[in-house]
Amino acid sequence: MEGPGFDAFRAAATYFVDVVASVSSSSWDAPGLGVWTVLETVGHASRANVIIIDYLEHPQPPEAPDSTYWSEANIAERGRKAVATLGDDPHATVAAAADFAVAFIGRTPADATVGSPIGTMTLSDYLPSRTAELTIHGLDIARALNLDLAPPTEALLESLAFVATISSTRKHQGVAVLLALTGRADLPPGFSAY
């Protein structure tokens, strides 16, 4: 795959590796995102590089919107279980997963079929969700540890576009997000488009 979508994914994967490389060995158990430690947040986010390949090679049927797969408890549990895949050297594991994913996607056609829990679509349609995962969770980790690491522009733009799209199409909150981003209204407390 070539083009801006792939470039954004590669930039996000590199950014995530850089953030993880900045995590000291004493920080893995620090609070990360929500109920996760930094290590659990890393494990969850690193799945973005792994599951895309799995969904390309072994497509699965979509989950129903009311499936327990989407529950906060199940998402949190998957993050905790992902820690086991990081092994004894999370830095090296994350870097290797990113390198493999970038190379794999780089040689995969944009119209390849991805069968994921959110639905069946082309790689080019699915890839922005992985870019957003790596970028947003990279920011989560950087914020949790007070690291001054901003994502590359192409990863940030793709992530913003993805979040804006899902806020409008899945969450039906596009008007609220647009008004907030243009300084015309505040978002309600606890609002999340993601």
pLDDT of residue 70 exceeding 90: no
Confidence band of 194 (pLDDT split at 50, 70, 90): confident
Tell me how far apart the alpha carbons of residues 193 and 120 are, in angstroms, rounded to a whole number: 22
> Is 177 among the domain residues?
no
Largest CA-CA distance found in the chain, in angstroms, rounded: 49
> Is 174 among the domain residues?
no
Task: Pull the structure tokens for residue 8.
Answer: 């954004």
pLDDT of residue 171: 78
Confidence band of 157 (pLDDT split at 50, 70, 90): very high
Number of domains in the chain: 1
Whether 110 and 1 have beta carbons less than 8 Å apart is answered as yes
> Is 139 among the domain residues?
yes
Using left for φ > 0, alpha for ψ between -120 and 50, and beta otherwise, residue 34 falls in: left
Q: What share of the chain in percent tops pLDDT 90?
A: 85
> Is 94 among the domain residues?
yes
CATH code, domain carrying 23: 1.20.120.450
> Is 186 among the domain residues?
no
Range of the domain at 76: 4-156
> Is 108 among the domain residues?
yes
Note the pLDDT tens digit of each residue in 104-114.
999 999 999 99
Whether 167 and 188 have beta carbons less than 8 Å apart is answered as no
> Is 62 among the domain residues?
yes
Record the pTM. Answer: 0.93
